[in-house]
Amino acid sequence: MTENSNFNDLFYQKKNAWESVDETESNDINLYCSSYAEFLDNSKTEREFTANAIAYLEENGFISLGNAFEAGQKLHQGDKVYYNAGNKALAAAVIGKAEMRKGMNMVGSHIDSPRLDLKPLPLYEDNELAFLKTHYYGGIRKYQWPSIPLALHGVIIRADGVKINVNIGEDADDPVFVITDLLPHLAQKQNDKKLGEAFEGEDMNVLIGSVPMENDDIKQKVKLRVLNLLNNKYKVTEKDLINAELEIVPALKARDVGLDRGLLGAYGHDDRVCSYAALKAMVESGITEKTTLCFLSDKEEIGSVGKTGAQSDLLEFVVSILMNLTNEKSSDLNVKECLFNSVMLSGDVNAAFDPAFKNVYDKSNSVFLGKGVGIAKYTGSRGKSGANDASAELLSSITSMLDEKEITWQIGELGKVDAGGGGTIAKFASMIGIDVIDIGVPLLGMHSPYEIASKIDIYMCYKAFKAFYQTV
Ligand code: MN
Ligand code: MN
């Protein structure tokens, strides 16, 4: 230290990002967040996100990698492609100037969110009311789901093979559905139960009908009317509901939260807030030195399992095709060389410090709403178990890039060491040799039907991904 240096420089302090925002940037933040909110309202399932992402990519000149591979079409610098994995996961890439074996700049995130899936045989009648049985998907707190408007989304493959897209509860004049809760007057016993035990999986039944249909032969007249309405609308029968993936999600729109409109409340920020940023930042980055890749995975909320999850070979398969079509040798060794030289930002949300629940956080190692995009060096639980733990070297390259581009960032842990834990797709990317670090948008009420994010953090996340894609 020289005599003139400011002793304050010795300290590190997180800053509120709003304090350094001018009017132009404030407009950019609002524009970005309103286009994100609109995309989110139309993308409440992984399938809807995939379909809307593909439409957006195609509008911007991206072509199907699967078709290119089938046709043996060679790819060159600047070519833009996407790979649709079963309509539920997606990878998109822009071929860069450098050889792929020297590594790619990737952003990976997930497009599934916690929700209530319908059981294979969901529909039943009880005391002249019709209900849908559900099996929850991912980590939900069950008590949060009764007494809110719910929508039904998904697909049914009809007996004639036609795939029906179902979406009921989103339009203003659509009906919605609801899980009923007990009135306080009769809840004395339930109130004595532990929060985690007061609502059971088998009780998460969604009210879908109440008006009996006139018919002398059939006893379940309310169920009959529901089936008849579904048949009128979609030409489906009860049996067709077996060949389906139907999801119950909150029938809530993304809305500004707070008088100052600094926050955005929505269902499914986790992890579409990072997925949308990953996609848009790639599309806007154009031709870069390194090939860029945006990996939007499915099934993260249940452990990144299955063919569309990040534990699958999907990413390696896509990289193999890319190398094959760019005339690089796509041998095992070359693909591995590419992966080992690649860097990924694992874009996923993290838990913002909540003043209402201070005791689960280590305040000095938390991320906060409004203090920028949040980095997590490691995840895991009970002593970093199951973590990806990014290296100091990678942290240094990412934080210096963010500083250089004046992108507000912060770093923190999920919560107190022994309070619990969690993971992302980062560890699966790291297992195939990619240098990966978690970075994303801090949330309040993660996994609830209405998650809260700060608009400035949402915007900083997008700026961070864009700067990263363009990194040489
Ligand atoms: Mn997530
Ligand atoms: Mn999650």
Count the alpha carbons within 13 Å of 354 in the hemisphere toward its beta carbon: 17
Ligand 2 mean position to 179 CA, how many Å?
Answer: 22
Do the beta carbons of residue 136 and residue 116 sit within 8 Å?
yes
Residue located via tokens 């992402």? 53
Whether the pLDDT of residue 327 is over 90: the answer is: no
Note the pLDDT of residue 280: 98
Arithmetic mean of pLDDT, 319-332? 88
Q: Could you say which ligand is closest to the alpha carbon of residue 441?
A: 1
**pLDDT tens for residues 188-228?**
999 999 999 999 999 999 999 999 999 899 999 999 999 99
Whether the pLDDT of residue 151 is over 70: the answer is: yes
pTM: 0.96
Q: Could you say which ligand is closest to the alpha carbon of residue 302?
A: 2
Sheet with strand 350-351: strands edge to edge: 255-257, 263-266, 451-454, 442-444, 350-351
Percent of the chain with pLDDT over 90: 91
Indicate the pLDDT class of residue 3, thresholds 50, 70 and 90. low
Ligand 2 mean position to 133 CA, how many Å?
Answer: 23
Whether the pLDDT of residue 183 is over 60: the answer is: yes
Ligand 1 mean position to 269 CA, how many Å?
Answer: 9
Delineate the domains of the chain, giving CATH numbers in brackets.
16-113+267-469 (3.40.630.10), 115-250 (2.30.250.10)
Note the pLDDT of residue 7: 83
Ligand 2 mean position to 8 CA, how many Å?
Answer: 38
Ligand 1 mean position to 469 CA, how many Å?
Answer: 21
Ligand 2 mean position to 138 CA, how many Å?
Answer: 8
Structure tokens at 450: 């209405």
Peptide bond into 271 cis (omega under 30): yes
Ligand 2 mean position to 49 CA, how many Å?
Answer: 16
Note the pLDDT of residue 376: 95
Ligand 2 mean position to 395 CA, how many Å?
Answer: 23
Q: Could you say which ligand is closest to the alpha carbon of residue 272?
A: 1
SS3 467: helix
What whole-number distance in Å separates Cα of residue 134 and Cα of residue 139? Answer: 14
Ligand 1 mean position to 144 CA, how many Å?
Answer: 18
Q: Could you say which ligand is closest to the alpha carbon of residue 445?
A: 2
Ligand 1 mean position to 274 CA, how many Å?
Answer: 9
Pairing relationship of beta strands 409-411 and 373-376 according to DSSP bridges: parallel
Indicate the pLDDT class of residue 68, thresholds 50, 70 and 90. very high
Beta carbons within 10 angstroms of residue 222's beta carbon: 21
Residue located via tokens 């048949």? 231
Pairing relationship of beta strands 206-209 and 263-266 according to DSSP bridges: unpaired
Ligand 2 mean position to 107 CA, how many Å?
Answer: 17
Ligand 1 mean position to 63 CA, how many Å?
Answer: 28
Ligand 1 mean position to 300 CA, how many Å?
Answer: 7
Whether the pLDDT of residue 66 is over 60: the answer is: yes
Note the pLDDT of residue 422: 85
Ligand 2 mean position to 416 CA, how many Å?
Answer: 18
SS3 365: helix
Arithmetic mean of pLDDT, 444-464? 98
Arithmetic mean of pLDDT, 98-105? 96
Note the pLDDT of residue 4: 59
Question: For the chain, what is the mean pLDDT?
Answer: 95
What whole-number distance in Å separates Cα of residue 135 and Cα of residue 360? Answer: 29
Residue 194's alpha-carbon distances to 116, 189, 190, 197, 205, in angstroms, are 22, 11, 8, 5, 20
Contacts of 72 (CB under 8 A, 6+ apart): none
Indicate the pLDDT class of residue 38, thresholds 50, 70 and 90. very high
Contacts of 194 (CB under 8 A, 6+ apart): none
Backbone torsions φ then ψ of 99, nearest 5 degrees: -60, 145
Do the beta carbons of residue 50 and residue 153 sit within 8 Å?
no
Note the pLDDT of residue 400: 98
Note the pLDDT of residue 191: 95
Ligand 2 mean position to 145 CA, how many Å?
Answer: 16
Note the pLDDT of residue 6: 80
Q: Could you say which ligand is closest to the alpha carbon of residue 350?
A: 1
Whether the pLDDT of residue 328 is over 80: the answer is: no
Note the pLDDT of residue 387: 87
Ligand 2 mean position to 113 CA, how many Å?
Answer: 6
Beta carbons within 10 angstroms of residue 350's beta carbon: 28
Indicate the pLDDT class of residue 2, thresholds 50, 70 and 90. low
Arithmetic mean of pLDDT, 91-100? 97
In 3D, which of 332, 326, 397, 411 has the Cα closest to residue 14?
A: 411
Arithmetic mean of pLDDT, 407-435? 92
